[in-house]
């Protein structure tokens, strides 16, 4: 997979590309990431990339010429061009999985008040936001998109861990423990030491459901509407609800 990231702040990506999973995927040749400095395509005297907004108002807008030249320099054909902006479609795991199946991606990092609309109209296939808050630029969003996309590219991390973690049943993760068995008088839940795999599976499922009902109840409601919750889960949901959702913690016992 080839990813081109177009930005006015290429230094932003220095540490990022050296981070573990990504660095390994790059080293193994599974992904290829190129950072393109938009300023290298600004040809006027001051190499300026932004200008005032027509119609008046605060903030600067990314000029179309340098951005289009930068895009043309990396575009091969009909690959997706993602523009990071707080007014885009909300990014999620499903999008990461969809993007992970593409062979080429271009990500244009938004800055200032945004980019000239003609760039969006002419080149952008996906306007993407990573959440309902404002970042000072699209670089962090681009990193989020690349990280979550690359780690689900086939062969980057092993299938078993992907399947386990991925909100496969749509629920949040159950609690995890490692040694020691007792830490400052707090024991690991005994069921996890029992060796009874079916009991462990049921305990984890219940913990996942409890946590989801507590912090993201809308996930359960949506999955229910979509008919995506198996009877085993529905039954536990009903049981927990009849007792009232435990609003404290997800401590083990
Ligand atoms: Cl993609 N860009 C900016 N500037 N802020 C954001 C965002 C993107 N997603 C959420 N907030």
What residues are in contact with ligand 1 under a 6 Å CB criterion?
84-86, 110, 129-131, 133-135, 137-138, 141
Q: What dotted CATH number matches 2-158?
A: 3.40.1280.10
Rounded distance from Cα 109 to ligand 1 centre (Å): 9
3-state secondary structure 142-189: HHHHHHHHHCCCCCCCCHHHHHHHCCCCCCCCCCCCCCCCEECCEECC
pLDDT at 63: 97
Mutation choice for ligand 1 from 7, 89, 92, 131, CB with most ligand atoms inside 8 A: 131
CATH architecture of 166-243: Orthogonal Bundle (1.10)
Rounded distance from Cα 11 to ligand 1 centre (Å): 18
Contact 130/144 with Cβ under 8 angstroms?
A: yes
pLDDT tens readout for residues 50-75: 999 999 999 999 999 999 999 999 99
Q: Where in the chain is the domain with CATH 3.40.1280.10?
A: 2-158
Mutation choice for ligand 1 from 6, 140, 143, CB with most ligand atoms inside 8 A: 140
Rounded distance from Cα 113 to ligand 1 centre (Å): 11
pLDDT tens readout for residues 127-141: 999 999 999 999 999
Could you tell me the end-to-end alpha-carbon distance of the chain, in angstroms, rounded to an integer?
Answer: 44
Q: Where in the chain is the domain with CATH 1.10.1270.20?
A: 166-243
Digit-by-digit pLDDT tens for the chain (253 residues) are 999 999 999 999 999 999 889 999 999 999 999 999 999 999 999 999 999 999 999 999 999 999 999 999 999 999 999 999 999 999 999 999 999 999 999 999 998 789 999 999 999 999 999 999 999 999 999 999 999 999 999 999 988 777 666 556 789 999 999 999 999 999 999 999 999 999 999 999 999 999 999 999 999 999 999 999 999 999 999 999 999 766 655 565 4
pLDDT at 159: 82
Rounded distance from Cα 142 to ligand 1 centre (Å): 9
Rounded distance from Cα 199 to ligand 1 centre (Å): 43
- Please give the C-alpha separations between residue 176 and each of 202, 219, 228, in angstroms, as whole numbers: 14, 21, 25
- Listed as own residue / partner, the contacts of 55-60 with beta carbons closer than 8 Å and 24 or more positions apart are 57/113, 58/113, 59/112, 59/113, 60/112, 60/113
Sheet holding 32-37, edge to edge: 32-37, 2-7, 104-109, 80-90, 126-129
Classify 4 as helix, strand or coil.
strand
pLDDT at 174: 96
């Amino acid at each position: 997979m080839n990813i081109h990231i177009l930005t006015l702040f290429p230094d932003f990506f220095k540490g990022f590309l050296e981070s573990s999973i990504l660095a390994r995927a790059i080293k193994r040749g599974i992904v290829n990431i190129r950072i393109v400095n938009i300023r290298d395509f600004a040809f006027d005297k001051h190499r300026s990339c932004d200008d005032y907004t027509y119609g008046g108002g605060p903030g600067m807008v990314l000029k179309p010429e340098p951005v289009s030249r930068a895009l043309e320099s990396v575009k091969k054909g009909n690959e997706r061009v993602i523009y990071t902006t707080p007014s885009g479609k909300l990014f999620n795991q499903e999008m990461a999985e969809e993007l992970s199946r593409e062979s080429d991606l271009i990500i244009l990092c938004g800055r200032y008040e945004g980019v000239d609309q003609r760039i969006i109209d002419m080149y952008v296939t996906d306007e993407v936001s990573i959440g309902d808050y404002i970042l000072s630029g699209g670089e962090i969003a681009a990193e989020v998109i690349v990280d979550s996309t690359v780690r689900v590219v086939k062969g980057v991390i092993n299938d078993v861990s992907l399947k386990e973690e991925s909100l496969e049943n749509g629920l949040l993760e159950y609690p995890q423990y490692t040694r020691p068995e007792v830490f400052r008088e707090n024991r690991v839940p005994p069921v996890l030491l029992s060796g009874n795999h079916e009991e462990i599976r049921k305990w984890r499922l219940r913990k996942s459901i409890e946590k989801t009902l507590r912090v993201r109840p809308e996930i359960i409601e949506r999955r229910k509407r979509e008919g995506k919750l198996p009877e085993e889960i529905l039954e536990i949901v009903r049981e927990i609800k009849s007792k009232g959702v435990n609003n404290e913690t997800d401590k083990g016992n």
